[in-house]
Amino acid sequence: MKTSTFFSIALALIGSKVNAFNLADVQRTTSGSIVPGRYIVEFDSNAHLSSSGMKRDESISTPHEAIYKQLKERDTSYTVHQEYSDGLFIGASITLNSDNDLANLLSTEGVIDFRQVHLLSLPETVFPQTAQWPAAANLPDSTTYSSTSSSAVNSNSTTTTTSAKVTTTTTCKGFSVLGQIGAESVQASGNKGKGVKIGIIDGGVDYTREPLGGCYGKPECKFIGGYDFVGDSYNGTNSPIPDNDPFDNCYTHGTITAGLIGANSNGNKYNVVGVAPEASLLQYRVFGCNGATTDDIVLQAMQRAYNDGVDIINLSVGESSGWTESMLSVFASRLTASGVVLSISAGNRGQVGSFYSYSPGSGIGAINVGANDNAFFPAQQASVSTGHAPITYFNYQGFTPGTYPLYAFNTDPSVAADGCTIPAGTPNLKGYVVLVRRGGCALEDKAKNIYYQGGRQMLLINTQGSVPLYQNFPLDFGFVSYEDGNYLLSQIGNNHTSTNNTTLTFTFNPYQAPNVWTGNITSYFSEIGPTNDLFMAPSIVAPGTNLISIVPSTFGNWSMEIGTSFSTPLVSGASALYIASKGGSQSTSPDKVKSALQISADYLTTSKSDQTLANVAVQGSGKLNVAEALNQDRLIVSPSEILLNDSNYFASTQYLTLTNPTNKIVKYTLSNLPAGTLLSYQSGLNQSSDQPVPQVSNGANVKFSQSSVTLLPRSTWVVLLQFQQPQGLDSKRFPVYSGFIQITGGSTNVQVPYLGVAAKMKDMPILDGTSYYLGFNSPTILNENNSIQSSSGQSYNFQNGQYPTVIYRLVGGTPLLLIDLIDSNLTTTNLGFTPNYNSKRDLIGDEDVSFLEERKLNSIIDSNNDKFWKSSKTQSLISLYCQLTNFKGINCSGFNQGKSSTFGKVPILGNLYEQDFIPRSTDNIDGAGEDHLTFALKSNKFSNGTIIPNGTYKFLLRTLHITGDRSKQSDYESWVSAPFTIST
């Protein structure tokens, strides 16, 4: 996915304070990205072979017809949007008018699973100069300099300096990152992915760009096919207008992704050739011009790509999840099991801490791709007439070619506010390179002031040791280092212009300025795992910052990008190189592709100053190295990742299968390389830790059945590993420990990542019962004025916005959240348990803050409970159906007769809201929201559509613990609200 802010700007946010929560900003609606009333429903493939358990109806020939007939017989109002009809997924995307219609759907014979449809959005990918600054009139005259200097730098050589000393460096290779992932040497060997088909599910593509082949739909074209599922005008809520041509020149994301995978060298001025330029590409457009879609459309595109026979699917889209259970994740798992490699972006919200993976990248078997920082900053170089070494300025685009004198408002190093205002007597700055220092006011203010004064070239002098910034202004702009800037200022005379005729000459001269700050460190924005069900996320990382790629000509042909959206196509291209090296997808499989990329990856350190290995939840198996993945002599190891689970289900015994692929006898040695252990939750608080998540050195110990193995040619051996969890850790901080099993020997080393949690995931707190973030105890009820309702109650008539809204936060993910209505007179005795959160409870300072309270339960155990409602329906579907019918639906009666679980004994009056597999809330450190959740009771109706009688009630909110049993009330955290009255 694409980040919404520039790399260096976002770096400055790390460590900043979280903005104070403002109650007035709360939207009094039910939160989430759910499309109201719309569901992806899975059908039993044999649903048409029977009709509600009766004899087969010969007039029905498909599962769809069987389901639709039953819905019509029950007078269900529904609209079908998409249908899915292959062996991987049979079903439909359906909108229902009411929850009563939903109850009908869920009880229909042949419906086996469903998920609510979510709206998926991507931020803008390019920062176009949409706001043009008009030049001010009546400026003083100026002299324009535009001659070619004899001291101009040769475009085939580069130099760099921080002083007057000239230092020659290597020949510039443009801005390609192929060398950083091993693809450069693979391509040099002749492997460029020929014969491999890659499906790109994204925005459309401007295939008319020369590096993308210039044509579509013909055998000789790079883009041999695809489909537009939405059309230009689609915004995620209106009706899509599909067609057969995925051309797109109004949204850049898909073109950028395609360029990173497969751009040719023709017309490629920055030498950013794709990883697999000879692969055949198919583009599936699921975003209109504004970058929004729904997951049922993405599912349709995934299914079509599979039917079109692609070998790889690149998917740079997702949403907050934390689970492997979303419909797209489940379908991604099925695709990989069916032979398709899936490379999916990990997400861009690493700032909010761990246990925040994205869907569908969390699909089992998919390659979940995170990002590491580029080893260089794209820059250009200008020559100096004094003979000083070329000046590096940070902008991937070169300044307008020519030779220009210098101008500065102030040369005093202690004055940072130069350019914040234009001093009286300043001339027209046209034709000058204007020098200003960083600081004192907004950067845009300085740029505007210079622009309004006629200036069209601006160099900003960076503060010492700071990361440079990139900006798009309607003038030539670039950062220069503190040292180079001071040298240029030393050439300024008393009249604010350069002395001795000092000039800068600009030519097109790309330069890879070394990233000495964060190069080859995991990117601050890259999503941090693991999933809540403790699968590894990310799987691997690849460069995801400062990437130069192609955009439609309407956006200026080229752009610089940042995000896991753009590390992902590098992995897709690498997968194509691997498949091509094996002779095609028939000779390998997705698990072998993923395994080869993982065990050959280069592990990364925590930072430039901290050489501790970065946690596997941050870096996955490490940085992509496709050259090593293709090494024919590399040891073959299975599995390629070791999942140790949590303390409750600790999988301490593991096995590694080693295969020597060579014709030589090789001795291999095994060792444990522990990585830093993440402390995912803050000390003394049930609140997650932000990035950088604190790390400690406590690591796992590993005992090997044998520490070395000598293998005969092409032989296999199994080694037993016995893991011991780290000691001395506070389980209330939910430590995520990890590391690598390194195996040395032969021509190359391999490493297998492992990961576990030194705590019980069932103990992870869910409801935030504190005032730590919101500033008031929660959950609670907000009234029509966005004020906290009185604890003594309030009356709501549902007129003119008079309705109650529940506001709450989740400090941990939950597989099931329910809000029900109960009688206001219920006590803990007749409720059947003691709610462990209420509006008067504040846990700040409580030493047992992250422990769960013991519940007082009515122990009603049903030994036959496992026989309840035997069918192919999923547990979540059954649970929702019984909630919607207030446990009075077919086969739900046992809940009210003491024959079911303790959960079913709770005397609710009816269900109001249900949601599955919800991620935890954030503290909005990245400004992307999702820091709280709300439920708005906007009408006096239960979720099944029946009327709530006038009376006084309370809300009952319940959240199921990770690994909890849905049928046991003791496995839920619960909150009972203050009373409120419905009076209509």
Question: Active-site positions?
Answer: 202, 253, 565
Question: Which SS3 state, helix, strand or coil, does residue 58 take?
Answer: coil
Work out the end-to-end distance of the chain between its first and last CA atoms, rounded to an integer number of angstroms. Answer: 47
CB 679 within 8 A of CB 735: yes
CA 876 to CA 788: how far, in whole Å?
33
* Cα→Cα distances 87→65, 84, 349, 901, Å: 17, 9, 35, 36
User: In the beta sheet, which residues pair with residue 522?
Assistant: 372
Does an H or E element contain 70, and which? helix 63-73
CB 402 within 8 A of CB 508: no
CA 90 to CA 62: how far, in whole Å?
10
Residue 908: both structure tokens together: 């609710």
CA 962 to CA 402: how far, in whole Å?
64
For 686-843, where are the E strands, in sequence order?
695-696, 701-704, 708-711, 716-724, 735-744, 750-757, 780-782, 795-796, 805-808, 814-823
CA 311 to CA 339: how far, in whole Å?
8
CB 537 within 8 A of CB 529: yes
| Strand 312-315 relative to strand 197-202, pairing | parallel
Q: Which of 835, 829, 812 is nearest to 956 (CA)?
A: 835
Q: Give how far the C-alpha of residue 838 lies from the chain's centroid of Cα atoms, to the nearest Å.
A: 34
Q: Please enumerate in sequence order all residues whose Cβ is within 8 A of that of 302, keeping only pairs 6 or more positions apart, or say none.
A: 201, 313, 315, 328, 331, 332, 335
Residue 920: both structure tokens together: 């935890």
CA 935 to CA 805: how far, in whole Å?
6
User: In the beta sheet, which residues pair with residue 93?
Assistant: 40, 82
Q: Please enumerate in sequence order all residues whose Cβ is within 8 A of that of 137, keeping only pairs 6 or more positions apart, or say none.
A: none
Q: Please state the φ and ψ torsions of residue 958, each to the nearest 5 degrees.
A: -130, 135
User: In the beta sheet, which residues pair with residue 367?
Assistant: 343
Q: Please enumerate in sequence order all residues whose Cβ is within 8 A of that of 276, keeping only pairs 6 or more positions apart, or say none.
A: 192, 193, 196, 198, 261, 262, 572, 573, 574, 576, 577, 580
Please count the other Cβ atoms lying within 10 Å of the Cβ belonging to residue 412.
11
Q: Which amino acid is at 252?
A: T
Question: Which SS3 state, helix, strand or coil, does residue 564 take?
Answer: helix
Q: For residue 799, with 0-12 CB atoms within 10 Å meaning exposed, 13-18 middle and 19 or more buried, which class applies? A: exposed
Peptide bond into 661 cis (omega under 30): no
Q: Please enumerate in sequence order all residues whose Cβ is within 8 A of that of 45, keeping only pairs 6 or more positions apart, or say none.
A: 63, 87, 90
What residue spans of 753-861 are helical by DSSP H? 828-831
Question: Which SS3 state, helix, strand or coil, does residue 446 take?
Answer: helix
CA 956 to CA 913: how far, in whole Å?
10
